[in-house]
């Protein structure tokens, strides 16, 4: 794995949704570093990627209420564990659970193990509410996938939470999670 600036030199062997992520970032003038790697589906799998990026990739969880009428993308530090009761009280909603893989594909165009804020590009009807642990917002950089879990990006937090979210017509809600491992 090596750290590279910007998009890949070629789209060969890349999924369309990955390339669309780079298109959107480039169009917005958002600088990013990228590394390519084998599939990573968990925070533990991302440890080597973190070293290459020089940051810690955040944990992204796709959640829904019991009725499956409200969907949430939660960005949180990898060292924390989710306590649904704690989060439910802040949103507020009851009975949060993990959304299905089919719902991830439907709303974010990503497969399980690839949840990412970049997937909001595909949520054109604003069905997904972005929730962000306050700790993520304190870091200068945020790490995420470009809609596939075989590449990872390092972006300025400010660019993601201003330029990017504005362009994809999403806002976010700050939450405070205390669940340390």
Least confident interval from 13-17, 71-75, 86-90, 167-171: 86-90
Residue 181 domain-assigned? Answer: no
Cis preceding-peptide flag for 4 (omega within 30 of 0): no
Rg from Cα positions in the chain = 15
Residue 61 domain-assigned? Answer: yes
Range of the domain at 30: 4-175
Rounded to whole angstroms, how far apart are CA atoms 170 and 157?
A: 15
Q: What is the pLDDT of residue 181?
A: 47
- The domain tally of the chain equals 1
Residue 115 domain-assigned? Answer: yes
Residue 158 domain-assigned? Answer: yes
CATH number at residue 146: 3.90.960.10
What digits encode the pLDDT tens for the residues 131-151? 999 999 999 999 999 999 999
Rounded to whole angstroms, how far apart are CA atoms 36 and 125?
A: 31
Looking at the DSSP bridge assignments, the partners of residue 71 are: 64, 128
Residue 139 domain-assigned? Answer: yes
What digits encode the pLDDT tens for the residues 6-64? 999 999 999 999 999 999 999 999 999 999 999 987 788 888 888 999 998 899 999 99
Residue 180 domain-assigned? Answer: no
Q: Which of 179, 88, 76, 90 is nearest to 135 (CA)?
A: 76
Q: What is the pLDDT of residue 179?
A: 63
């Amino acid at each position: 794995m090596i750290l590279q600036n910007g998009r890949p030199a070629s789209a060969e062997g890349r999924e369309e949704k990955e390339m669309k992520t780079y298109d959107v970032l480039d169009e917005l003038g958002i600088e990013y570093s990228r590394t390519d790697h084998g599939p990573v589906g968990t925070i533990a799998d991302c440890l080597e990627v973190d070293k290459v990026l020089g940051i810690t990739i955040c944990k992204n969880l796709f959640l829904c209420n019991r009725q499956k009428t409200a969907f949430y993308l939660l960005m949180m530090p990898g060292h924390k564990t989710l306590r649904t009761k704690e989060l439910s009280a802040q949103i507020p909603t009851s009975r949060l659970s993990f959304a299905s893989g089919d719902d991830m594909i439907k709303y974010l165009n990503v497969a399980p193990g690839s949840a990412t804020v970049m997937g909001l590009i595909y949520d054109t009807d604003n069905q997904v509410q972005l929730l962000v642990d306050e700790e993520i917002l304190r870091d200068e950089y945020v790490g995420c996938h470009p809609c596939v879990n075989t590449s990872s990006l390092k972006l300025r937090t400010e660019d993601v939470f201003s330029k990017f979210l504005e362009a994809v017509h999403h806002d976010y809600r700050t939450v405070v999670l205390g669940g340390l491992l």
